[in-house]
Chain A
Amino acid sequence: MSDSTVEELVIISGKGGTGKTSIAASFAVLAGFPVIADCDVDAADMHLILAPSVRERHEFRCGNEAVIRPAGCTGCGKCLELCRFGAIVAGGEGEAYVVDPVACEGCGVCVRFCPARAIDFPEPLCGEWMVSETRCGPMVHARLGIAAENSGKLVSTVRREARRLAGENGSRLVLVDGPPGIGCPVIASMTGTSQALVVTEPTVSGEHDLERVLKLARHFGIPASVCVNKWDLNPGMTERIEALTVRSGARIAGRIRYDRGVTLAQMQEKAVVETDTPAADDIRRVWDSLGL
């Protein structure tokens, strides 16, 4: 029942497009009915492989957003003067100023200091999160509205629901497909997980970004392992990356070869390990090395 009995593996990449989601989908097949959490909420792609049927939909609201009531606005310009985010812009006909919702950070300074009290502060709808059934296990996934802030909060919501489901179903594992980068949503997807697998590629960018993402894992005390995808594109760089992995105190989880069959599997909406392309064996070995 308690969270502590559930393992949580987060798959991250630093740099985007390294094959993280293809590998995560394969792990979903290999893990034997885990709970799947697609935390790449900005560009959630896991559903394209796992074809979920949605069981529940929930609205996601985050923060507040300033809205000027034209009828109350005297056009004094106090909001423009105080806003540090460039979110107050000249309005059209009959509106001295309007709030640009994309730029508004929801700090509420304009709301508090408007002399005419003409600024409302509603909680906007920022997206939705869903609980679905897939052939590999239940999945929690989300969709963030355009330009919505706070994807970190949505990531936290998706993970919390996935953990709750795992508790209810008696699942041993929550598999988290994390977002790229090292910012807010990545931090939200990895803190408190049992281990992180970093999927990288043997490129100068892969090496550079790996260094940053491993520092992040260390910063938050998450045990990390690294697998090099498309390793044979540059064997020399693969060795450098593995050396960097060891130097950084992380574990080497294996190599996956460059294989066009990985894209072909995606075209057929299959996980790589559901096909007999050579890279499937490599992915199985990486999975076995994680000891889950």
Chain B
Amino acid sequence: MIVSVASGKGGTGKTTVSVNLARTIGSGVQLLDCDVEEPNAHLFLRGNETGSDVVTIPIPEVDESLCDGCGECSRLCRYHAIVSFGSTPLVFPDLCHGCGGCALVCPHGAIRETGKRIGVVETRDADGITLIQGRLDIGVAMAPPLIRAVKARLKTGTTAILDAPPGTSCPVIATVRGSDFVVLVTEPTPFGLHDLRLAVDMIRELSIPFGVVVNRMGAGDDRVHRFCRGEDIPILLEILDDRRIAEAYSRGELVVDALPDHASHFATLLWNIREETRNTGGQAEG
């Protein structure tokens, strides 16, 4: 079972839910931190690093002795990553998406592809939890290929939790595609509801079953609950607005370790996720 934890708005407690859920499932679970711009799960599940791989995307390299400056590559490239002014083309690696079109279109076989580093994928073992995280290099704009590299390390047959980046754009989609279930974490506030609506639209577009976790219950009002009732969206868990949770989080501690009175919440969440996937199992829409 693959469960993605996402949220329209950042800072709603996505990582808190992911790491505590992983700890509740325990040994054998995989936790994939797909928030490659700001990976945070390792701050809560420290463990030992067991591997680190550099991730590259293929970019063109032009053999000047074969190139006659025809400019076919330049005309094909939508990203202006390879440009010819009537002579050997220039390559702009930071603009290249790695589609391979220039190498295919070159009539002289003058273009071969070479790897350009965009970040790393690190693997850690934290008390039986396998944490796999991507880390995008500073100044690199392209997250989705790195997210795909993180997900390529996903082992089938075990439970995997995917911590998604915030928002609803391409990196989030790259994360949640192929999941069996999505947990959307939100807050009972105007910002929380507004961003939850966007996230719900996105998940419905992808036809993945989903439910909602309401964090900081009591800080706002019942607008998220009313929305979920109206849309027939299950609420999987409510986490009270408790300053102790915020403080434990600030120190990098898991809620299930630091505040035993809250530990049962995550067991409930796990149970609810399993119930929901059973109910919707095999069906497209949640």
Which residues from chain A contact B43 at a C-beta distance below 8 Å? Answer: 204-205, 208
- Jot down 5 A-B pairs with beta carbons below 8 A, ordered by A: A42-B169, A144-B169, A146-B201, A148-B169, A267-B190
Mark interface residues in B234-262 (1 if CB within 8 Å of A CB, else 0).
00000000010011011110000000000
A116 sits at the interface (CB 8 A):
no
Mark interface residues in B41-71 (1 if CB within 8 Å of A CB, else 0).
0011000000000000000000000000000
Which residues from chain B contact A147 at a C-beta distance below 8 Å? Answer: 168-170, 173, 202, 205
Residue pair B78, A182 in contact (C-beta under 8 Å): no
Q: How far is the CB of B286 from chain A (nearest CB, A)?
A: 16
Residue pair B10, A15 in contact (C-beta under 8 Å): yes
Residue pair B8, A266 in contact (C-beta under 8 Å): no
Q: How far is the CB of A129 from chain B (nearest CB, A)?
A: 15
Chain A residues packing against B (C-beta within 8 Å): 13-18, 21, 42-43, 45, 48, 63-64, 82, 84-85, 102-103, 105-109, 112-113, 144, 146-149, 151-152, 179-187, 201-206, 208-209, 212, 215-216, 219, 230, 233-234, 237, 258, 260, 263, 266-267, 269
Name the 3 nearest CB pairs between A and B, nearest first.
Answer: A17-B11, A16-B10, A107-B99
B191 sits at the interface (CB 8 A):
yes
Residue pair B11, A84 in contact (C-beta under 8 Å): no
Closest to B99 in A: A107
Which residues from chain B contact A258 at a C-beta distance below 8 Å? Answer: 243, 246
Which residues from chain A contact B38 at a C-beta distance below 8 Å? Answer: 14-15, 180-182, 205, 208-209, 212
Which residues from chain A contact B10 at a C-beta distance below 8 Å? Answer: 13, 15-17, 43, 180
Q: How far is the CB of A214 from chain B (nearest CB, A)?
A: 10
Q: How far is the CB of A274 from chain B (nearest CB, A)?
A: 15
Interface centre among B104, B140, B143, B195 (most CB of A within 10 A): B195
Q: How far is the CB of B119 from chain A (nearest CB, A)?
A: 11
Chain B residues packing against A (C-beta within 8 Å): 8-12, 15, 37-38, 40, 43-44, 76, 78-79, 97-101, 104-105, 136, 138-143, 165-171, 173, 177, 189-191, 194-195, 198, 201-202, 205-206, 219-221, 243, 246-247, 249-252
| Interface class of chain A by DSSP | loop
Complex: how many Å from CA A168 to CA B173?
39
Complex: how many Å from CA A82 to CA B101?
9
Known pairs A15-B38, A184-B142, A266-B189; A204 contacts B250 (CB<8 A): yes
Q: How far is the CB of A156 from chain B (nearest CB, A)?
A: 12
Residue pair B191, A266 in contact (C-beta under 8 Å): yes
Known pairs A21-B191, A204-B252, A269-B190; A43 contacts B167 (CB<8 A): yes
